[in-house]
Structure formats: C-alpha cells, structure tokens
Chains A and B, each alone.
Chain A
Amino acid sequence: MPPPGFSMFRGINMANQKVKDYKDKIFRATTFFAAMMVLAVIVGIFLSLAHQSLPAIQKFGFFRFISTPTWDPVHEVFGAASSLYGTIVTTVLAMAIAIPVSIGIAIFITEMCPGFLKGAMGTAIELLAAIPSIIYGMWGLFTLAPIMGDTVEPFLQHTIGKVPYLGSLFSGTPLGIDILTASTILSIMIIPFIASIARDTFNLTPQVLRESAYAIGATRWEVIRNVVMPYSKSGIFGGIVIAMGRALGETMAVAFVLGNKHQIARSLLDASSTITVTLANEFTEADSDMYMASLFYLALILFAMSFLTLAAAKFILKERAKS
C-alpha cells in the first residue's frame, strides 16, 4: 500500500483508477468471450455430429463403415467407401491439375508480366474466387460437361487410353458427367487460392536476393527455380493446403457434374459421388433413423478429414520452420 497522500505526479492526478480498472476488466472479458465462441462452435459441431451419428457408429463400426462400398438405403446397409473414394479422387486429381497451373500463373504475374497487365491479371484471379460455386456447377453442367463428353474425353481415349494400364483410367462411355469433369471444375475453383497465395509469397522474396542470383549469371528461369521457389516453399504449401480443404468440402459445383452414383469407379470417365454430394442430395430422402445416422456419420468423417488436413499442414510447417 502506498503511504497516504502518495502520488506519481507533480500536478494533475489520474482519473479514478478503480473505474478504469473495471472498464479494463470488461474489455478483457469481452474479447475472451469472443475468442471462446470459436472453440465452443467447433466443439459443439463435433459433438452434435458425433451424437447424431451414434446409431450408425454402433452398427457399422469405423473400419467396416469406411471400407464398405455399398450404400443401400432400402436394406439399410451403409458404407462410406464409395463417397470417400469419390472425395479423395476428385480432390487429388483437382490438385494435380491446379498446382502446376497456379504456380505458372503466379510466376507469370510476379516475374514476367508487363506492368500494365499485372493489376488486371491479379484482379481476374481474385474474381475467379468470388464466383459462387453454384454458378461453377451450372456452367460445368451446361457448358463444360458437353465439351468434355464430346471432345476432350474421346480425345483422351484415343491417345492416353491406348497406353497399357494407364488406358483403363479412360475406359467407358464418355458422357461428360464424371470424375474427370468434376475434378476439372474443382481445379478451376481452387486455382485462385493457390495462385494468389503463391503470388503473394513470390512477391515476398527480397528483390536483392533475386538480383544477387542474376548477378552471378543466373537466367530468369534459374532465379525462379533456385531462389524464388525455395524461398516461397512454405507459403506455397500453405496455399495448397487451404485449396485442398476447399476441394474436400466443395459441394455444389461437384454435385452438378459428378453423377451421384455410389460406386468405386475404376475409370475417370465414370460417375461417382463425394461425401458432400451424398449429404446434399440425400438428407431430404433419409426416411429411416439409420439412414439419417449414416449421413451424419459421413459428415463426421469429412469434418475429421478437413481437421486432420489442416493439423498435418500446421505440423509440417512448424517442423519446416524449425529446420
């Protein structure tokens, strides 16, 4: 306790300190509450998903559920394998298309694009991300799917389709409503994420570092390949993970062009289904408790997948930052 009459100041004393302390406490409690909301929502969603899927978990177990390809509402036999397969294949294929294209876009914008195009290109990329996914879905169904079915897929069948082993990926009748079309749409949707993050991280590479690579005789490609890309590795990786999360969870665009068929298709020209598409299409038809519980179980699995993807990415980035 300070002695009576003690003051830190020569003249004017502070305003009532008690009131100020009180206000500060309210302020702190408010921000704490706002932050806790996030945690509460995550935990709440997880718990309610788990609770509602409990009957299905008890009936099918975990490994049996994810390894059973049958999705038979009539006999109430539900397995996630076909939806999981569709989700993973479309995501992987979309990433395989989107990553090289996005990095190419980012390299062009940061390293080669003439000044007047730079801003326009950047805005165009960001606009691509602003298009609602339902519009991608409609465009995919009415424009892209016919092009894929009439031109692209027959072409692939006549070229890569003739290669042994690889050829079976392109067997079947090309209808345009299939894994390949869905992946193409997905890749277009995630390109802006990877491209704009890659562009931002490329821009973070110090100019003097670029110059010093030029200064020992590196060509433009060598500067990008050996200095800019390694310097931007973790940023690009982050963009890829965000895009992957988006691809895993995307519903509308895929629902239009994937055909919603519960099967593990060997060919990329077959229809399939993803977890999200199954959920979007079938909640209205779920007439039994077990059907409903199985859909919730699917949702729980998707939730866990997205969560694990992000967690793994954070972990890898942390490890990389250490070394």
Chain B
Amino acid sequence: MTEFLSGSSLFAITLTLLIWRLASFLQKKAKSPVLHPILVSTAVIIVVLLVLKIPNAAYQASMKPLSFLMTPATVCLAVPLYEQIRVLRGKLPAILAGVACGTVVSLLCVAGLCLLFKLDHTMTVSLLPKSVTTAIGAPLSEGMGGLSAITVTAIIITGILGNISGSFLCKILKIKDPIAQGAALGTAAHVIGTTRANELGSIQGAVSSLSLAAAGILTAFLIPLVF
C-alpha cells in the first residue's frame, strides 16, 4: 500500500490539489491571514506523509509533473511586467527606484546579519535570495554553493510573513500610496506578497507583479556579480 502510494504521481498531485482547495476554503471562511493556504496545506500533507509512511523524497518525485510548471510559470511573469510597464509609465521611475533600493537593502541586510550571527558561507548564500520567487532564488542559491532546500524554506517564510504583515507594516510605516504598497509587497515578498497586494486593490496588485519581476531580475544579476 505504502509502496503503491509512494510511487503514484496521481495520488500525490490529487491529494495536494484537494488539500489546497480545502485550505483556501478554510482561509476564506476564517478570514485569518495566518491560516495561509501554503502553511495549512504543507502541515496537512506532512501529517498525511507521516501517517502513510511515504518518504518525502518519494512525494517530491511524484509531484514532479506539477512542480515542473514552476519555471514556465515564472517566465510568464513577463506578461504582467510588460502590461504594467505601459500602464504605470509615469510612475515607473519611482517604482523601479523603490525596487532597486529594496533589493540592495535586502541583500546588504541579509549579508550583514549573517556576518553578525557568524553563519557560514553555505548558509549565507542560501539566505541571500530570500525575497525573490522560488524559481529564481533556488537556482541562484545552488549556483553560489548554497542549499536550495534552505533557500526555498526562507523564500516561503518570507513570502508568508510579508503577506500576513503587509497591511500592518503599511499602517505603522504610513505607506498609504497604493503604488508604494504594491512595490513594497512585490519587492519584499514576491509571489506570495503579490496575492495580498491583489486583495488590497488592482493598482497594488499590478505594481506588485511588476516589482516582483524587476526585483527577481535585479537580484539574479547582483548576487552572482557581487557576492
């Protein structure tokens, strides 16, 4: 039984899709940002894997047909980038300056804190791309000698943290301009922050998807060249 389920892509993918559906429903009903579907789904799937004694490696292998879409889906971010650049033309310098500033601050902050905590090179390069989306951050980390699993964990925690705390941060920092809210969410919390930006408003969502793509490109060029 365990062997059959471990080897079945259909089981793993169907399970993941159904749990995701339930988790999204739960979040809608509970209206609590802490119950993020990624967190809830992950927790439920981990429990199912442990109960059915399915090794994580087998689950990951079974998920390949779906996980395969990560890179093409990231390439698709070119579409909102192209469309939003035309719409937001007048605000582009402000947005790009914000994205550039945020990206540089993110890299310096992570590098500085890693020094402070005396983390080794592997851990440091694993954490550097924590504010960009997985399909960009994971290969960046690996290319620099980092552990992509640590990077992915950091990326997701960052995204969920940005998603959950975004509205609160905007309030205490007095970021009231919808364009600035979108830039902050997209730059700091990539795809997961952008889902929050879309809930705040269409301007926020548009600026956030533009910012996440711009921050990804900038990070991808800065990390290999600078560090």
Say whether A associates with B. no
Interface residues of A (CB under 8 A from B): none
Interface residues of B (CB under 8 A from A): none
